[in-house]
Amino acid sequence: MATVITRITAHDFRYKLGEGAGSDAVHRNPQYGYGATHLETEGSLSGTGIAYTLGGGTQLVTEAITLLAEPLVGREIEELMADFGAFQRSIAEHGQVRWLGPHKGVIHLALASITNACFDLWAKARGVPLWKLLLDLSPEEVVRLVDFSYLDDVLTRDEACAILREKVGSRGLREEVLQRGYPGYDTSVGWFAYSDEMIVENARRAVDAGFTAMKLKVGSPNPEDDVRRAVLVRQAVGEDVNLMVDANQAWSVPLALEVCQRLAPVKLGWVEEPTQPDDVLGHRTIAQAIAPVPVAVGETVSNRVLWKNFLQAGAVGIVQADCTRLAGISEYLAVAILATKYPVKVIPHVGDMGQMHHHLVFFNHIALGHEVQFLEYIPHLRKHFTTPAVVRDGAYQLPQEPGCSTGLKALENV
């Protein structure tokens, strides 16, 4: 049965957070927001895609969605997804709008939202969850979802296809994760504005809930505060818990080197976003200085070309690619495939609160052979999703509902 897109609407959703929640050294008072794309069809099926924001300016993303999504009207979803890489490229390379990026910022976030809506509709049309949709595709079908342009010097489409093919035979060895679930880590332990008492209490509670990894915001104007808070959490949870810190770009390169040295005794799992995300060579300097502690980066890395540079330069250890920052699930796949060629771990940032990514990490492991790690868990928007991700004993459970789990309650009444 043909599933034809008949109407596209764009939506600006913003959610107030609890006192101090979501705060970091650079974004002191965020809202969480989504520029959402809603695809309607002749039948009852619809698709929802999201791109993540921090509230302010979300209307720019929705306006860009309206501008760019128009060629989708009248397209049949199977036919569209059979060569989605070409379609995505045609939008990304729009002869006039391209100038406003290229491949970054507002227009790229809009493309993320549009792309994710197409995947959601496609999975629903097939009646399967995203992870199963992707795992059931042939290597040839997977690579046709992806725009590989500008990657040729490190990864061609044929090579990507070969990487996928090479892993097919051993998939059975990795499918156990579908039963076990995928471990999570707790990001909400140590928001920047939380008091010392709160972060200690949250850290203990996270351990009680089954988490073995958690994150603390750093980047204080006074580095002493970072050290004190990291030591407090380390003391509260013991040596066996994986404790990561996140500076959210608060540091210059020299300051990052200085503060990381002072944090070293705390034995960090990683240092996240030490400085501005376009600074590939700065990240390399920091990565070399703090090794073997890895540098994590990704929530603000705009596109596959920057990822190529991060990987080529050895500037990243933890690839936090996010399909609500990149041009959706398809560009995420490009980065996840590319990352198999480098000595890195892929641990997505979850601008989607893990909704799509808790599908994608199963694909990462089974189809691409990326090690099972842990996926970021942020519960603040649970009540706004129609099928919020389920985390039990510190692990994401395998989603069962058709689609990408991006349904938003606010769209049910649209």
Query: Residues in the site for a second copy, rule: CB under 8 A?
Result: 26-31, 52-57, 59-61, 63-64, 67, 93-109, 149-153, 249, 252-255, 275-282, 285, 300, 302-303, 305-306, 308-309, 312-313
- Active-site residue flag, 217: yes
Closer Cβ to a second copy, 108 or 174, answer by number: 108
Closer Cβ to a second copy, 75 or 94, answer by number: 94
Task: State the sign of the Cα–Cα–Cα–Cα dihedral 126, 128, 130, 133.
Answer: negative
In degrees, to the nearest 5, what angle opens at C-alpha 338 toward C-alphas 24 and 78? 95
What residue ranges in 172-258 does DSSP mark as E strands? Answer: 182-190, 213-217, 242-246
Q: Which of 103, 345, 349, 365 is catalytic?
A: 349
Radius of gyration of the chain from Cα atoms?
A: 20
Q: Where are the alpha helices (DSSP H) in 72-104?
A: 77-81, 84-92
Map residue 310 onto helix, strand or coil.
helix
Cα 327 to its chain centre, rounded Å, is 11
Closer Cβ to a second copy, 29 or 235, answer by number: 29
CB of 123 to a second copy, least distance (A): 27
CB of 282 to a second copy, least distance (A): 6
Residue 44 is given by DSSP the state S
Closer Cβ to a second copy, 221 or 238, answer by number: 221
Residue-level length of the chain: 414
- Active-site residue flag, 349: yes
Q: What is the dihedral of CA 102, 103, 109, 111, to 10 degrees?
A: 100
Closer Cβ to a second copy, 66 or 212, answer by number: 66
Would you tell me how many other CB atoms lie within 10 Å of the CB of residue 291?
Answer: 11
- Phi-psi region for residue 329, left (φ > 0), alpha (ψ -120 to 50) or beta? alpha
Q: Which of 38, 103, 132, 217 is catalytic?
A: 217
228-to-212, 286, 295 alpha-carbon distances in Å: 21, 22, 21
- How far the first Cα of the chain sits from its last, in Å, is 25
Closer Cβ to a second copy, 48 or 275, answer by number: 275
CB of 312 to a second copy, least distance (A): 5
Q: How far apart are CA 206 and CA 219, in angstroms?
A: 22
CB of 346 to a second copy, least distance (A): 20
Produce one character per residue of 306-335: b if its CB has 16 or more CB atoms within 10 Å, e if not: bbbbbbeebbbbbbbbbbbbbbbbbbbbbb
CB of 385 to a second copy, least distance (A): 20
At 301, list the tokens.
Answer: 């890395």
CB of 247 to a second copy, least distance (A): 13
What residue ranges in 3-110 does DSSP mark as E strands? Answer: 5-15, 32-41, 46-53
Closer Cβ to a second copy, 130 or 327, answer by number: 327
CB of 22 to a second copy, least distance (A): 11
Q: Which residues are catalytic?
A: 217, 349
